[in-house]
């Protein structure tokens, strides 16, 4: 017979398991399979547990009904805390006076569903909290259910979100509580109940920006013990789309009669076929149990915090790598880690000498030495990156020769014909459209860097994410989609050996002016400055991004860059992506979110190079770390427009180009909810003055990626 023992109690505003105030690194899980629908096989359940454990998830809420019995067996066996919820939800009938929770003729239904939930799952030690239901208002029926459960099982706490703080619930478990509300509650001495969010960090589409800020609060305030992300898996099924392509189908795909909320049930950390969505990496990072900080960086001493409550770190080894400008210089392994549960240990690493040149970083990773449950030996349980010597952006100067081996004559400036202003020299040519001022041709080293018929253009827009749609930003920010650029002047001059072309624009739609300056060196490198000047006192919406869009020939299908990776990352979701050197294909940059949207961004970039098959191409550097992305899709092809339009990634054709976006910054993603909340203010781009400078430099295979 399989048995389990544990004690669950609430003391001093904290929920304790075996006397310890554990943190709930949780998810909500619906029973959903892309092939079986609501019928989930045992193999799929085992896969779900494996994914949860691999991504540091330690708790699950059975939203919003009791699960298959085998699920509880797996949670018992492999160690997941369970909030077991009764199948009771009636919010469609209304809250307040309209709630069924106040009606005597529904009292039996409220009681019976909770009775069966408890009696069926009583003997599962993984169940540490009973949940009376979900979104069904509050009234005497829930109070009666609470009393019955407490009388039947005094060993477990009982929670119900709609009971708020003052109602009959042992845990304060609100939904989608914003950061400031969490902080107010957790810092209030009179708050007597633990704060554990039953739903938070809505993971719909490209989301989970700002997840760090939730866990900064959890780790600061003892009464705030975590929560359950909404939710674990995108709820969609395999289907054949209207074009015949395979899709993951969501609401509205099946017929035109059924009520539909479009893709709103696709808000998971993983896709229907259990592929982790990009934001899962950020969750896994902030859910990890081992944290590394500097003790004394000058001596190579680190501090290792063991956030586990019941295990020491003897099951893990530490791997470290010292990086200089993104390249591994030295490595090492520490096999024995003597850090007790909840303790912090200090360890001195033999990092060897460093110098004052360039950027120095220390990567650390913790791997299991033996198999741990469903996870094989060598599983990476935690990682961090520490700064040894910070990055200092180089001064942007135009090269006079290509690595000292070629000197080209000064370009002939102000060659013009009726339609183009031409700047050219030995081996390169730039053409500016005289009617709109845009750079329409950039040729050097025998290659064209701008797709024929395209141009280097200012860009302030992204294909709205699901969180953007929820806040109606596709209409609120629409003035920035394609704002009018009225050319007012094209000026040319020579500065030393360099040619300068300046174009200025009025932007009446956004009450501003834009300057684009191109300084061209004798070797065909171009220093591009884009400066937007806002009009004081004008009320203009925020921007999605501030940068430039460069449609390149599709032959530039490889990226080398020094920045955060390897996965996509954004201003408020980049802590799980360490800074390093990466080489990837353009095809790898696109992630097929169930509903197409913004994807593929990278942040904190030091340099970025687009390469063709020969290893030649175009390198971009900036006066400060920047953001960039490169896709075989245009922004327009990923943009639903003013309303969502039942679209799927397999139905969108790739463009015959590589669309490179170079940004000073892109707005964050947010995660508080997907129906109105914006990212935190520090990750927004308010209307105002902006300026960015990029150096575009042709490179050859002889030194690409150096």
Strand boundaries in 47-171, DSSP class E: 59-61, 81-85, 127-131, 158-159
- Per-residue pLDDT tens digits for 28-70: 999 999 999 999 999 999 999 999 999 999 999 999 999 999 9
Residue 88, judged by CB atoms within 10 A of its CB (0-12, 13-18, 19+), counts as buried
The fraction of the chain above a pLDDT of 70, given in percent, is 97
Query: CA angle, corner 465, sides to 459 and 469, nearest 5?
Result: 105
Nearest to 159 by CA among 123, 205, 127: 127
How many C-beta neighbours within 10 Å does residue 312 have?
A: 16
Tokens of 145: 């259910």
* Spatial separation of the C-alpha atoms in residues 325 and 98, rounded to whole Å: 63
Instruction: Please tell me whether residue 537 adopts helix, strand or coil conformation.
Output: coil
Inform me whether the pLDDT recorded for 403 exceeds 80: no
- What is the pLDDT, as a whole number, of residue 705? 45
Phi/psi of residue 703, nearest 5 degrees: -140, 15
Contact between 596 and 648 under an 8 Å Cβ cutoff? The reply is yes
Q: What residues are paired with 33 via a beta bridge?
A: 37
Residues 6+ apart with CB under 8 A from 553: 448, 449, 451, 452, 657, 658
Question: What is the distance between the alpha carbons of residues 582 and 562, in angstroms, rounded to a whole number?
Answer: 6
β-pair type (316-324, 360-368): antiparallel
pLDDT at 411: 52
The average pLDDT across 9-37 equals: 97
CA 516 and chain centroid, separation: 31
Give burial (CB, 10 Å; 0-12/13-18/19+) of 197: buried
- Mean pLDDT value across the chain: 95
Give the per-residue pLDDT at 413. Answer: 55
Distances (CA, A) of 63 to 84, 92, 587, 676: 8, 17, 36, 23
pLDDT for residue 2: 75
Please tell me the pTM assigned to this model. Answer: 0.96
Residue 501, pLDDT > 80, answer: yes
Show the tokens assigned to 255: 């017929």
Query: What whole-number distance in Å separates Cα of residue 395 and Cα of residue 623?
Result: 6
Q: Do residues 168 and 181 lie in contact, with contact meaning Cβ atoms separated by under 8 Å? A: no
* Torsional class of 629: left (φ above 0), alpha (ψ -120 to 50), beta (otherwise): beta
Distance separating alpha carbons of residues 646 and 648, to the nearest angstrom: 7
Between CA 168 and CA 326 the distance in angstroms is 55
Q: Which residues are catalytic?
A: 135, 199
Who has greater pLDDT, 672 or 412?
Answer: 672
> Which residue, 404, 395, 454, 432, is CA-closest to 520?
432
Residue 702's pLDDT band, with cuts at 50, 70 and 90, is: very low
Q: Is the pLDDT of residue 414 over 60?
A: no
Q: Which pLDDT band holds residue 407 (cuts at 50, 70, 90)?
A: very low
- β-sheet with 380-389: strand ranges across: 327-334, 316-324, 360-368, 380-389
Percent of the chain with pLDDT over 90: 92
pLDDT > 50? residue 406: no
Residue with token string 């390249």:
327
DSSP β-bridge partners for residue 321: 331, 363
The region of weakest confidence among 100-109, 114-123, 415-424, 554-563 is: 415-424
Mean local confidence (pLDDT), 669-679: 98
pLDDT category at 401 given cuts 50, 70, 90 is low
The total number of residues shown for the chain amounts to: 706
Q: How confident is the model at residue 461 (pLDDT cuts 50, 70, 90)?
A: very high
Tell which residue, 258, 240, 259, has the closest CA to residue 249: 240
Integer Cα distance of 546 and 187 in angstroms: 38
- Alpha carbon dihedral 681, 684, 690, 691, in 10-degree steps, equals 110
Task: Compute the half-sphere exposure of residue 507: CA atoms within 13 Å on the CB side of its CA.
Answer: 24
User: Residues 297-345: pLDDT tens digits?
Assistant: 999 999 999 999 999 999 999 999 999 999 999 999 999 999 999 999 9
**What is the C-alpha to C-alpha distance for residues 73 and 78, in angstroms, rounded to an integer?**
9
CA dihedral 13, 15, 19, 21 (to 10 degrees): -90
- Distance CA(87)–CA(290), nearest Å, equals 36
The answer to whether residue 703 scores a pLDDT higher than 50 is no
Q: Residue 228 burial (CB < 10 Å; 0-12/13-18/19+)?
A: buried
Among candidate residues 526, 699, 690, 530, the one with its CA nearest the CA of residue 608: 699
Under the phi-then-psi rule, with left for phi > 0, alpha for psi from -120 to 50, and beta for the rest, what region is 60? Answer: beta
Distance CA 153, CA 84 (A): 13
Q: In what order do the strands lie in the sheet with 439-444?
A: 412-416, 420-425, 428-433, 439-444, 447-448
> Can you give the pLDDT at residue 631?
98
Cβ(103)–Cβ(111) below 8 Å: no
């Amino acid at each position: 017979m399989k048995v389990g023992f544990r004690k669950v109690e609430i003391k001093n505003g904290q929920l304790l398991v075996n006397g310890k105030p554990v943190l709930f690194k949780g998810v909500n899980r619906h029973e959903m399979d892309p092939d079986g629908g609501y019928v989930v096989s045992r193999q799929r359940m085992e896969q779900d547990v494996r994914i949860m454990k691999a991504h540091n998830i330690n708790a699950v809420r059975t939203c919003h009904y009791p699960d298959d019995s085998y699920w509880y067996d797996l949670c018992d066996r492999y160690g997941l805390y369970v909030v077991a919820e009764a199948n009771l939800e009636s919010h469609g009938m209304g809250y307040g006076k309209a709630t069924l929770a106040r009606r005597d003729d529904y009292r039996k239904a409220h009681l019976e569903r909770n009775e069966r939930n408890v009696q069926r799952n009583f003997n599962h030690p993984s169940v540490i909290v009973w949940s009376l239901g979900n979104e069904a208002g509050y009234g005497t029926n829930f109070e009666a259910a609470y009393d019955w459960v407490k009388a039947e099982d005094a060993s477990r706490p009982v929670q119900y979100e709609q009971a708020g703080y003052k109602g009959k619930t042992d845990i304060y478990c609100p939904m989608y509580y914003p950061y400031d509300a969490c902080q107010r509650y957790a810092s209030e001495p009179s708050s007597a109940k633990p704060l554990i969010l039953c739903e938070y960090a809505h993971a719909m589409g490209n989301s989970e920006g700002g997840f760090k800020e939730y866990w900064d609060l959890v780790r600061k305030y003892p009464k705030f013990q975590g929560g359950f992300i909404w939710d674990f898996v995108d709820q969609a099924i395999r289907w054949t789309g209207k074009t015949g392509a395979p899709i993951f189908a969501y609401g509205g795909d099946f017929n035109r009669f059924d009520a539909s909320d479009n893709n709103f049930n696709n808000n998971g950390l993983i896709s229907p076929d259990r592929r982790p969505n990009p934001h899962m990496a950020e969750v896994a990072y902030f859910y990890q149990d081992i944290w590394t900080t500097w003790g004394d960086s000058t001596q190579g001493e680190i501090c290792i915090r063991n956030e586990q409550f019941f295990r020491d770190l003897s099951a893990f080894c530490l791997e470290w790598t010292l990086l200089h400008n993104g390249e591994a210089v030295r490595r090492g392994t520490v096999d024995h880690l003597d850090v007790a549960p909840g303790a912090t240990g200090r360890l001195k690493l033999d990092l060897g000498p460093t110098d004052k040149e360039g950027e120095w970083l220390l990567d650390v990773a913790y791997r299991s030495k033996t198999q741990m449950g469903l996870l094989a030996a060598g599983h990476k349980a935690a990682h961090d990156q520490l700064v040894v010597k910070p990055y200092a952006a180089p001064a942007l100067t135009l090269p006079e020769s290509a690595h000292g081996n070629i000197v080209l004559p000064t370009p002939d400036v102000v060659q013009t014909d009726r339609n183009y202003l031409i700047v050219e020299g030995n081996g390169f040519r730039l053409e500016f459209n005289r009617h709109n001022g845009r750079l329409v041709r950039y040729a050097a080293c025998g290659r064209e860097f701008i797709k024929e018929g395209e141009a280097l253009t200012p860009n302030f827009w992204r294909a709205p994410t699901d969180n953007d749609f929820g806040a109606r930003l596709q209409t609120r920010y629409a003035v920035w989609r394609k704002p009018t650029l009225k050319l007012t002047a094209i000026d040319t001059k020579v500065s030393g050996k360099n040619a300068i072309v300046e174009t200025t624009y009025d932007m009446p739609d956004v009450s501003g002016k834009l300057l684009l300056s191109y300084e061209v060196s004798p070797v065909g490198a171009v220093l591009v400055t884009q400066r937007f000047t806002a009009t004081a006192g004008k009320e203009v919406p925020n921007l999605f991004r501030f940068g430039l869009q460069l449609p390149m020939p599709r032959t530039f299908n490889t990226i080398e860059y020094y920045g955060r990776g390897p996965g996509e990352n954004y201003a408020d979701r980049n802590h799980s992506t360490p800074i390093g050197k990466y080489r990837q294909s353009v095809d790898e940059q696109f992630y097929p979110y169930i509903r197409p949207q913004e994807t593929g961004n990278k942040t904190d970039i030091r340099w970025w190079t687009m390469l063709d098959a020969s290893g030649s191409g175009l390198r971009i550097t900036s006066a400060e770390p920047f953001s960039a992305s490169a896709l075989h899709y245009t922004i327009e092809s990923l943009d639903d427009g003013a309303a969502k339009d039942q679209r799927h990634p397999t139905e969108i054709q790739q463009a015959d180009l590589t669309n490179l976006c170079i940004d000073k910054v892109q707005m964050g993603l947010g995660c508080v909810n997907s129906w109105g909340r914006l990212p935190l203010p520090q990750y927004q781009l308010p209307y105002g003055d902006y300026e960015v400078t990029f150096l575009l430099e042709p490179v050859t295979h002889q030194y690409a990626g150096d």
